[in-house]
């Protein structure tokens, strides 16, 4: 979710973290704020570092908001839909988006885990997973198992009606056994 997953100072190394949860805050470009995805803490974004007072705050990482922006640049004539917790907060929006996909009103879907499970859209022919390593590196002894489960489920969204399909998974750890198992 969001635009960038880490916001830090290039001068002193300060990284914005939630004062309640101690996790990094995510930058949301659409609202220009930093948000904790665990407790909901929100802070207005600033380019000035609160630690060293330099104009050196930069954002890193890739969220769904950033991916949506890039996809729209690469495929300007495509109908793009972003489906995550930020876009489905209004009552009925989740169902509305599902119906749009089912009615072929969308060419490219960008989303989080919420679109990987239990949905049957026969015309989907390409699934891409960006930075699959993120869930592998969660400090949980079951992270491999959880990553496999998620990748296996999202891969199953492509080719459900027998049409030629592809699944592309970006990773920095291609030798990890879970990628062989997903294949």
3-state secondary structure of 13: coil
54: Cβ–Cβ under 8 A, 6 or more apart, which residues? 9, 11, 12, 48
pLDDT > 90? residue 49: yes
Residue 131: CB atoms within 10 A of its CB come to 15
pLDDT digit string, tens, across residues 102-138: 898 998 988 887 777 777 787 888 888 888 888 887 7
Cα 151 to Cα 143: distance, rounded to the nearest angstrom = 12
Burial of 7 per CB tally in 10 Å (0-12, 13-18, 19+):
buried
| Residue-wise DSSP of 119-173 | ---TT--EEEES-THHHHTSS-TTHHHHHHHHHHHHHTTSSTTS---EEEE--S-
Predicted confidence band at 27 (pLDDT cuts at 50, 70, 90)?
A: very high
């Amino acid at each position: 979710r969001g635009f960038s997953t880490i916001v830090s100072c290039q001068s002193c190394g300060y990284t914005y973290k939630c004062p309640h949860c101690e996790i990094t805050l995510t930058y949301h470009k659409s609202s220009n704020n930093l948000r904790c995805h665990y407790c909901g803490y929100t802070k207005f974004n600033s380019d000035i570092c609160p630690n060293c007072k330099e104009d050196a705050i930069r954002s890193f990482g890739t969220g769904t908001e950033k991916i949506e922006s890039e996809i729209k640049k690469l495929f300007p004539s495509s109908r793009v839909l972003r489906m995550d917790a930020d876009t489905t907060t209004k009552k009925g929006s989740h169902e509305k988006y599902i119906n749009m996909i089912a009615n072929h009103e969308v060419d490219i879907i960008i989303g989080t885990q919420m679109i990987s499970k239990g949905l049957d859209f026969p015309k989907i022919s390409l699934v891409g997973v960006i930075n699959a390593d993120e869930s592998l590196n969660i400090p949980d002894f079951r992270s491999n198992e959880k990553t496999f489960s998620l990748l296996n489920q999202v891969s199953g969204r492509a080719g459900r009606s027998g049409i030629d399909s592809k699944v592309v998974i970006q990773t920095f750890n291609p030798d990890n056994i879970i990628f062989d198992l997903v294949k």
